Structure 1
């Protein structure tokens, strides 16, 4: 039974599996590279290209190319292309389908059973959207796990010699997370996590794009702003990314900016890049500091390792700044591929354990033998536990009787251990009230807040109240957040047993919508 781990990244994605000696291995795409650009090009309404060719085409047909779609996961922001509207789940499904199809071509086996990773700071809505994207792509999503957990799985397997407490600093193409993880006796426990899912290497690229455009305009003030032309802007984004990568190993790089028949050769130094992006790096340090403070409250003071994950951690300024701030020597742990490898290990272990629990001993042994696992390794896998925490706070809107203002009461708090479940009684406000609205809110800012404007509404519904009841009639509300970070909410009126069950359906995308999208996308050729 082949299972796969997928790192569905903002700028690059990859897929991995376990080889015949039990090692996690990234499967190269048909273009021969380990990672695939998370870019989708609509050549026509029924022909879609994903990856490097799509990225190259963005310069010529920017209106038909979609990138950075991961930042829209969990939001209702459809894109209209060639007369069709595509939501973020569907666009992500194209990327997943490309990865799975290429993996099948390479291995000769259908890539169907997968674990998909998400940033640790993704909330319930984004995680739900990611799961649905996998289902639209025709995949069986075993689980959704956080990227730092996947990196920790890889790290723990590769460095099993002793217990360790590690800080994972994960700066990817479009998201940033920092997570404290304890490795104890083969088990993995997330202590706390924090992050920003709109902060990543793409923001460094944007600063470079602005710098290049400004330098061009200074040299050719009569040629207009290069950023007013979509094709020139896309070319600048490619040039900026290449310059950023070049400056990881060199101290200077030259970019030729062409616009309106004019050319400007702009020299960029590493010092310049670090100067114009200092505030971005400062934000990651600030978030890391918050994480360390929460860890201290939980009794964690010392760290054995600082593990860097994500391609953007290759920038020299990152390691230098972290070493200065934290006094730890950062370790680059296979930054581009560690997450996919860890997801593959996790997928393998979860499937192996499930087979044992279901009594399918023969299938479990076949799976272990195929991966070349010893009896001791099988025993370790069967016993391994992974504990994680909530990335954000979740609650409902209530009316404050004193101020008559709406406020949010959180039932699950950020960094509560998962799975988490909490019930609380709330009460009607008016006499003869016939129903009670249940508005589910998710923390939007860096810290929990009772202000509704500091939270996102992610689900809503109502439960009926028996007639003739006076104000103060109780409604019991239960929040259950599973180990994947997916939320389920119930509200029960106790006299009649009237019950409301709320699943968090992102952007109004119901289970029927998922099936409709899956059928509709089957008409599209993806390559």
Structure 2
């Protein structure tokens, strides 16, 4: 049984599986590279190109190229391409299908059972959207797992010699997470997590684009603004990313900016890039400090390792700043590929454990033998536990009986251990109230707040109240958040036993739309 781990990234994605000696290995795409740009080009409504070719085409045909799709996940938005409105789930499905198709071509085996990673700070909406994207691509999504957990799995498997407490600093192309993880006796426990899913390497690129455009305008004031031309802007974005990467190894790099028949050769130094983006790095340090404070509140204040994950951590200033701030020597842990490898390990172990639980011992042993695992390794996998925490707080809207003001009462709090289940009674506001609205809210800001404006409504329903009841009639509400971060809410009226079940289908696409998209995508040529 081949299973796969997919790192569905904002700027680059990759897929991995377990090789015949039990080690996670990234599968190269048909272009011969480990990672695939998360860029989709619509040559037509029936022909879609994903990856490096799509990224190159962005300069020539920017109106039909889509990137940074991950930042829209969980939002009820669409992008119009070739006269068709595409949801983020559908666009992500094209990327997933490209990865799966290339892997099948490489291995000769069906690529169907997958674990997909998401930033730890993704909420219920984003996780739900990611699962739906996998289904649209025709994949069986075994689970959704947080990127730092995947990285910690890779770290724990490759460094099994001792128990460790690690801080994972994950700065990718479009998202940032920082997570405290304890590795104890082969088990993995997330202590706490924090982050910002709109902060990443793409923001460093954007600062450099603005700088290059400003320098060009200063040198050629009569040539117009290069950012007013879509093709020039796309070329600048490519050049900015290349310059950022070059400045990882060098201290200066020259970019030729061409617009309106004029050319400017602009030298960019590493020092200048660091100056332009200092506030972005400051933001990651601030979030890291908040994470460490939360961990300290939970009794964790000593760390063995600081593990850097995500391609953007290769910028020299990141490690230098963190070492100064935290007093820990950072370790680059295969930053581009660690998440996909960890997801593959997680997929393998979850499938193995499921087979054991279901009594399919022969299939489990066959799977283990194929991966070259010893009896001791099989025993370790069967017993390994992974514990994680909630990334956000969840609650419902309640009304103050005296003032009529609304606020959010949270039942699950950020960094509560998962799975989490909490039941609480809430009460009607008026005499003879015939129904009660159940409005489910998720923390939207970086900290928990009872204010409605600081929360996002992710589900709503109504439950009937028996006639003739005085104000203060109880309605029991239960929140159940599973280890994948997916939420179920139940409300019960205790006299009649009437139940309201809210499986939080958060924004985005309905189940019917997912099925229609899956069928439609199967008719599209994706390469």
Does the TM-score normalized on the shorter chain lie above 0.5? Answer: yes
TM-aligned CA deviation for residue 233 of structure 1? 0.6
TM-aligned CA deviation for residue 37 of structure 1? 0.2
Aligned-partner Cα distance in 2 for 1:506–1:210: 35
Asked if 1:318 corresponds to 2:323, the answer is: no
Asked if 1:288 corresponds to 2:288, the answer is: yes
TM-aligned CA deviation for residue 486 of structure 1? 0.5
Residue 222 of structure 2 aligns to a residue whose secondary structure is helix
Aligned-partner Cα distance in 2 for 1:190–1:310: 19
Equivalence for 1:93: 93
RMSD: 0.7
Asked if 1:13 corresponds to 2:9, the answer is: no
Equivalence for 2:406: 406
Equivalence for 2:503: 503
Deviations 1:235-278 (A, max 9, x none): 00000000000000000000000111111111000000000000
Runs of 4+ in 1 over 6 A off after TM superposition: none
Deviations 1:43-67 (A, max 9, x none): 0011110000000000111111110
Aligned-partner Cα distance in 2 for 1:522–1:368: 33
Aligned-partner Cα distance in 2 for 1:521–1:250: 43
Aligned-partner Cα distance in 2 for 1:467–1:63: 58
TM-aligned CA deviation for residue 500 of structure 1? 1.0
Equivalence for 2:522: 522
Equivalence for 1:434: 434
Aligned-partner Cα distance in 1 for 2:393–2:193: 12
Aligned-partner Cα distance in 2 for 1:430–1:251: 69
Aligned-partner Cα distance in 1 for 2:311–2:366: 36
Aligned-partner Cα distance in 2 for 1:473–1:509: 35
Aligned-partner Cα distance in 2 for 1:523–1:80: 19
Distance 1:106 1:508, change over 3 A: closer
Aligned-partner Cα distance in 2 for 1:313–1:474: 51
Aligned-partner Cα distance in 2 for 1:505–1:230: 36
8 A Cα contact 1:423 1:477, kept in partner: yes
Aligned-partner Cα distance in 1 for 2:508–2:261: 47
Equivalence for 2:333: 333
Residue 76 of structure 2 aligns to a residue whose secondary structure is coil
8 A Cα contact 1:79 1:87, kept in partner: yes
Equivalence for 2:385: 385
Asked if 1:356 corresponds to 2:356, the answer is: yes
TM-aligned CA deviation for residue 384 of structure 1? 0.3
What is the TM-score when the length of structure 1 is the normalising length?
Answer: 0.99
Equivalence for 1:113: 113
Aligned-partner Cα distance in 2 for 1:377–1:197: 36
* Within-5 A mapping of 1:96-245: 96-245=96-245
How many residue pairs match? The answer is 527
8 A Cα contact 1:322 1:328, kept in partner: yes
Deviations 1:135-175 (A, max 9, x none): 11000000000000000000000000000000000000000
Deviations 1:486-525 (A, max 9, x none): 0111111111111111122232522222111111212211
8 A Cα contact 2:246 2:253, kept in partner: yes
8 A Cα contact 2:75 2:508, kept in partner: no
8 A Cα contact 2:213 2:225, kept in partner: yes
TM-aligned CA deviation for residue 402 of structure 1? 3.5
8 A Cα contact 2:77 2:508, kept in partner: no
Residue 268 of structure 2 aligns to a residue whose secondary structure is strand
8 A Cα contact 1:76 1:506, kept in partner: no
Residue 222 of structure 1 aligns to a residue whose secondary structure is coil
What is the TM-score when the length of structure 2 is the normalising length?
Answer: 0.99
8 A Cα contact 1:15 1:99, kept in partner: yes
8 A Cα contact 1:20 1:370, kept in partner: yes
Distance 1:128 1:105, change over 3 A: same
Structure 2: segments with no counterpart, 5+ residues: none
Aligned-partner Cα distance in 1 for 2:513–2:219: 52
